[in-house]
Structure 1
Amino acid sequence: MQPVQHGDPEALADSIIAAVGKSIVLALPLGLGKANHVVNALYDRAAADPSISLRIVTALTLETPRGGSALERRFMGPVIERLFGGYPDLAYVPGLRTGTLPPNIEVNEFFMLAGRWLSVPTAQQAYISANYTHAARYVLDRGVNVVAQLVARREADGAARYSLSCNPDLTLDLLAARQAGRAKFLLVGQANDELPYMQGVCELPSEAFSHVLDGPATQFPLFAPPKQPVTAAEYAIGFHAARLVRDGGTLQIGIGSVGDAVCQALILRQHENAAYRDTVERLSAVPPQPFEAAPFTAGLYGATEMLVDGFLELIRHGILTREVDGAVVHAAFFLGPKAFYRALREMPDAQRARIAMMPVGYANELYGDEAGKRRARVEARFINNAMMATLLGAVVSDGLEVGRVVSGVGGQYNFVAQAFALEGARSIITLNATRQDGGRVRSNIRWSYGHTTIPRHLRDTVVTEYGVADLRGRTDAECVAAMLSITDSRFQAGLLRQAKAAGKIAAGYEIPAVFRDNTPARIERALAPARARGVVPPFPFGTDFTAEEQRLMPALMRLKSAAHSLPALGALLWQGLTAGPPSPQDAACLERMGLHKPTDWRQRLQRTLLRAALGE
């Protein structure tokens, strides 16, 4: 049966309620694939009618970013208009954030936008802790009766076909459950012309859908978060991780600028091998072992939950070339900048078909054709980022000691488990050795922590900007020593004292002198030749930020850090007051921020501080 076509989301909401009744359990894909107009129409119906019960089960609710301080808002305003103009925000977000959702509406998430919901009790209390691969069963347990998803549309032989595109991850598993008689729900699609039409198992015939929303009034630009600059520490991490990746092997990379750094290091390994080797050696306190240094001849195969734009760069540069069942990468979902979506849309079908979007269980687990997956996923390197790690090798990626959730487990545990299940595979956990917190530098390597995502018995490889700690199969004392060798030197002595007090390392142990210069200055020195050659740019794969915005971003970060310290803020103020005329570049930045002609004392203060931060 062909789906009912709709151009009006309100009429579609009425049809859904007529079909399933007033108790609605609505499942939405993670991230990009949400059918926003469908969700909002159902939300409006439930908000206006208390007799309707609406439970929304989803993950990674996307919301248009907002600046915090006055300066950040000045910076973000034009960026938001340029990158998110026309994006229809999800109607449930304001009520969820303020704790004012109507009592007949509940939102459950199993993964949150990192750090955005830490102080929202409603969201924290409604969070479902789940591995990504277990989420579909929890959705089924909740009694899902509507699945609403953004889809790409194509005419083939006179009939419409639809692609789940960015999010086959859970929907294909839910459809399999429906086919087996274990679920009964309406599949509702919202067609979006910007969504790339991905081929393969994520393609569905029109009769798979009960309703489709499609028309000019409900088209909208895809949510496209701009890429963040790659810092010196992240580049160092990327080079250390890249030297662990074996030719002919398998690669998984998580989201974020560390993933960009890994991809850029792999590209340099392929095309500017001397610069790659030199940079790795300069970054390593001791001769790097292992050190995969040669360019790729057999090539890599990607098996990843998230298709990041870095994978397209690896394809373009002839690195991701090893095919499995006709694909060089299998992935479960994607989210990225505008250029990423455009590149996927503009690919010839034959090239796009080599990027296979699959159910999440395919990418994240060995279940189902385990023998085939074992043959394919040789020498796998699963690279995922973390917030913190302990000296004994436990990893903290998703939550705080007090129980509040920063993001979610997602697929990290799945990939760590795969690394132990597959012959020759390794889990590589990356993290910055330090972070700024309340104006102070704090270590991300701790003696202990009250919450862990990956327990210490699954410790494997941990990478910071200062090197690689191989923890697999090591004794506790060996793990402590290895982790101290990649800890920032400002915190080594204190952590060593804690380990000795706990009896976990010999009382006479001393950190070797070669590891006692783990400082940001050493990283900057090591990267200086690569910077001079232009091979470690802040945005290796392009950016949506203008030249002025790129200059402003680090300046605003300096101001944010200084805001926690009166002496630092005073020093910046004095520097700004005593500065000479602004350079043409600084003047352009001030104009971009609307501070070239301040009209009151607040704007004059902002201008003075910003001038100083730009000067640094």
Structure 2
Amino acid sequence: MADTPEVYTDADTMARAVYQANGGEIRLALPLGLGKPITIVNALVRAAVDDPALSLKIFTALSLQRPDPSTELEKRFLGTAMDRLFGTAPSLSYVDLIKRGDLPDNIEVSEFFFQAASWLGNDYAQRQYISANYTHARDVLISQKPNVLAQLMPRDGARFSMSSNTDISADLFARRSAGEMDFMAVAELNDALPYMDGPAEIEAREVAMVLEPPRQVDLFSVPRRPVADAQHAIALHVSRLVPDGGTLQIGIGAIGDAVANALIARDRAALHDLWRTAPFTLQGAEEGPFRTGLYAVTEMLVGGLVALFEADILRREAHDGAVVHAGFFVDARDMYQRLRALPPDRRARIRMMPVSFTNALYGDEPTKRDDRRDARFVNGAMQVSLLGDAMSDSAKPGQVVSGVGGQFNFFEQAFALDDAHAVLTLPATRQSGGDLGSNIVWQLPVTTVPRHMRDVVVTEYGAAFLRGLPDEEVIKRLICIADSRFQQELAGSAKKAGKLDPDWTVPPAHAANTPATIATWLAPYREGLLPDYPLGTDFTDIEQLLVKALADLSEAQSDKRALLSLIWAGLTATPHAQEGPAMERMGYDATPSLAEPLQARALRGALRRLA
């Protein structure tokens, strides 16, 4: 390796040089998510499309895509705000080729984790999906003998940082240094990435080529979604399960945001009235503030963990002085800015590590066990069966929504560590095609976490501790946190299978599990303690209003009576105070007219219902 990398300013010239250095055949290792060097990747793809004699095989995960609006209302809402909400980075050209069905034979793409729902119905992506736990994905990659690793990196003098993606890359660099691998590393500079030091740093001599593009790509941003009543309620239950001095992991999304918000409120002794007025028995006894503080170990550094770090709740130090160990990050743009703005000594307390460290106990196990005491690994699921197995990555057999990722890794740790728990969160119900369904079901079509590893399941109606219990008791506890509209059907299925006492009935304390019960409980606190966007948002005030109205309208689209009801409300109900600006933001007239499209009338009705 040379002491200094070759520097390029033109991506196509650099791509030709990379192909030439590897005999025209590239087996490309790309980090998941944010760390993809889009300019370099697109140049490599472009060269392979132009020259069938070249070969390009890509192994990666989480190829980030901006949404592709499919309805008129989606186009009106996202059209003018797309760049502001998601960033202006160009799309990954291999993603575009796969979507169009135009990927040439000399290019192959395999992913082990999808951006949620992005590849449903795409035959190529579904066929090329590799199912692997996050800790095993590295070994799958190594077996394919990659000869090029390409990554987006910031630079500080003569050193580079893997920044957002130490997850697998850090192990690959370490193996190369040990003589166990041989590949060319290339980097694309990006100053917007926070410079993470420690294990994330590499010396300039580790990189063979560097692209200094005339215009650096914008970082992909994931807009935060509003937190609904059910998600806040789930978080309130979870907040009672986290002991002071313990270890925490939470995932991305509204529930993760809500959990962080609830823990901050608990630390400020602001939840006692909420807990006191709960309409059902609360599990977990952890109510006090964090005197010792928490330590976080997570594959994904999410905005909620950064908020807990800023609130000084994440302050219990691991043996190396870090209070957070994480493998990768991708989030809303303000999180990147907040990480960059931290003083270097404080930012150093967040240490980016390989997932072989964060997601497993192998390697210096005694130290990891000591650091990871009283762990609570909090992750989401799509559905849970009455026997306790979980579905988290598939919509139906054969169609992958996202992937296993690290969820199973954290279940393994929860069972291996003393006084640890894996906490699965999910809303009790879902809307699909206009139909209401239960997320607690009798049986699952696909299993991500098997029933013999059942632990803790949390819905808005409570927490169910399942580990080590007989099937019948597991069934009872899960029915008690299911929506009451489905409890009798669930109990009937279990009784028919001989798994539940024929005389058992739902206890009165759990017989009113309805959205109205939750709404009544939380209503006094929604404006202050439990806001729609506890970690902030890139949506304007008008857009925040429209997000709610559009969600209601979308739910009504598959129900003719509900849609007609919204249209009627658009004609007769009292206008919302912000109706005019909201309609103008969507490209409609501020004032109603008899000639306006029915879609506009229905949206107006949804706004008026919110009033």
TM-score when normalising by structure 1: 0.96
User: Equivalences for 1:73-152 in 2 at 5 Å?
Assistant: 73-152=75-154
Residues of 2 paired with 1:507 and 1:84: CA distance?
53
Could you say what secondary structure the match of 2:257 adopts?
Answer: helix
User: Could you say which residue in structure 2 is the equivalent of 1:246?
Assistant: 243
| Structure 2 CA distance for aligned equivalents of residues 602 and 360 of structure 1 | 58
Equivalent residue, structure 2, for 1:262: 259
User: CA shift at 1:278, angstroms?
Assistant: 2.3
Secondary structure of 1:78's counterpart equals coil
Distance 2:261 2:12 in 1: 46
> Which residue of the partner structure matches residue 54 of structure 2?
52
SS in 2 for 1:236: helix
Matched position secondary structure for 1:441 = strand
Instruction: Return the offset for 1:583.
Output: 4.4
Q: Distance between the aligned counterparts of 2:100 and 2:491, measured in 1?
A: 43
Secondary structure at 1:367 match in 2: coil
Aligned residue number for residue 221 of structure 1: 218
Query: How far has the Cα of 1:606 moved from its partner?
Result: 2.5
User: 1:186-585 residue pairs with structure 2 within 5 A?
Assistant: 186-217=184-215, 219-271=216-268, 273=269, 275-283=270-278, 285-286=280-281, 288-324=282-318, 325-531=320-526, 534-579=528-573, 582-585=575-578
Q: Is the deviation greater in 566-575 or in 327-336?
A: 566-575
Match of 2:180 in 1: 182
Distance 1:277 1:579, change over 3 A: closer
Structure 2: which amino acid aligns with 1:68?
S
Measured at CA, do residues 123 and 601 of structure 1 come closer, stay the same or move farther in structure 2, by a change above 3 Å? farther
Letter matched to residue 259 of structure 1: G
Find 1:27's aligned residue among 14, 26, 29: 29
CA distance in structure 1 between the aligned counterparts of 2:18 and 2:126, rounded to whole angstroms = 29
* Structure 1 residue aligned with 2:586: 593
Report if the CA contact (8 A) 1:99-1:121 is conserved: no
CA contact (8 A) 2:550 2:606 kept: yes
Q: Secondary structure at the match of 1:182?
A: coil
Query: 1:597 deviation in Å?
Result: 6.3
CA contact (8 A) 1:390 1:447 kept: yes
d(CA) in 2 for partners of 1:601, 1:30: 50
Q: TM-score, normalised by structure 2?
A: 0.97
User: Paired residue for 1:162, among 160, 163, 168?
Assistant: 160
Cα displacement (A) at 1:35: 0.5
- 1:326 Cα deviation (Å)? 1.2
Q: Shift of residue 598 of structure 1? A: 9.4
What fraction of aligned residue pairs are identical, expressed as a percent?
Answer: 49
Distance in 2 of aligned mates of 1:584 and 1:489: 36
Q: Are the structure 2 counterparts of residues 233 and 583 from structure 1 closer, same or farther at C-alpha, using a change threshold of 3 Å?
A: closer
Structure 2: which amino acid aligns with 1:394? D
1:32–1:334 Cα contact (<8 Å) kept: yes
- Bigger mean CA deviation after superposition, 133-142 or 595-604: 595-604
Amino acid at match of 1:256: G
With 173-182 and 120-129 compared, the bigger mean Cα shift is at: 173-182
What is the alpha-carbon distance in structure 2 between the residues aligned to residue 21 and residue 428 of structure 1?
49
Runs of 4 or more above 6 Å deviation? 597-602
Distance change in 2, residues 1:78/1:602 (3 Å): farther
Q: Render the CA deviation track for 1:97-121: whole Å, top value 9, x for unaligned.
A: 2322111111100000111111111
Contact residue 396 and residue 452 of structure 1 kept, 8 A: yes
Deviations 1:122-176 (A, max 9, x none): 1000000000111111111112111110001111xxxx21000000110011122
* RMSD value, Cα: 1.5
Deviation readout 1:509-532 (Å, 9 max, x if unpaired): 111111010000010111122225
Q: Supply the AA of the counterpart residue of 1:577.
A: L
Cα distance in 2 for residues equivalent to 1:170 and 1:528: 44
Corresponding residue SS for 1:304: strand
Q: Distance in 2 between matches of 1:374 and 1:455?
A: 24
- CA displacement at 1:223 relative to structure 2: 0.3
Q: Give the secondary-structure state (helix, strand or coil) at the position aligned to 2:472.
A: helix
Question: Closer, same or farther in 2 for the Cα pair 1:599/1:489, shift >3 Å?
Answer: closer
Q: Which runs of 5+ in 2 are unaligned?
A: none
Q: Secondary structure at the match of 1:283?
A: coil
The counterpart of 1:12, out of the listed 7, 11, 14, is: 14
Q: CA deviation at 1:85?
A: 4.8
Report if the CA contact (8 A) 1:236-1:283 is conserved.
no
For 1:78, give the aligned amino acid.
T
Distance of 2:439 and 2:277 partners within structure 1: 23
Deviation at 1:86, TM superposition (A): 2.8
Q: In structure 2, what is the Cα distance between the partners aligned to 1:60 and 1:141?
A: 20
Q: Which amino acid aligns with 1:426?
A: H
SS of 2:99's equivalent in the other structure is helix
Contact 1:401 1:449 (C-alpha < 8 Å) held by counterparts = no
CA–CA separation in structure 2 for the residues paired with 1:598 and 1:72: 21
2:599 pairs with 587, 594, 606, which one? 606
User: Given residue 187 of structure 2, which amino acid in structure 1 is its aligned partner?
Assistant: G
For structure 1, which segment, 42-51 or 170-179, has the greater mean C-alpha deviation from structure 2 after superposition? 170-179
CA shift for structure 1 position 291: 1.7
What displacement does 1:508 show?
1.0
In structure 1, C-alpha distance between the alignment counterparts of 2:328 and 2:271, rounded to whole Å: 31
Maintained 8 Å contact 1:84/1:221: no
Contact 2:581–2:590 (CA under 8 A) maintained in structure 1: no
CA contact (8 A) 1:168 1:358 kept: yes
Change beyond 3 A, Cα 1:587–1:24:
same
Name whichever of 566-575 and 142-151 sits farther off. Answer: 566-575
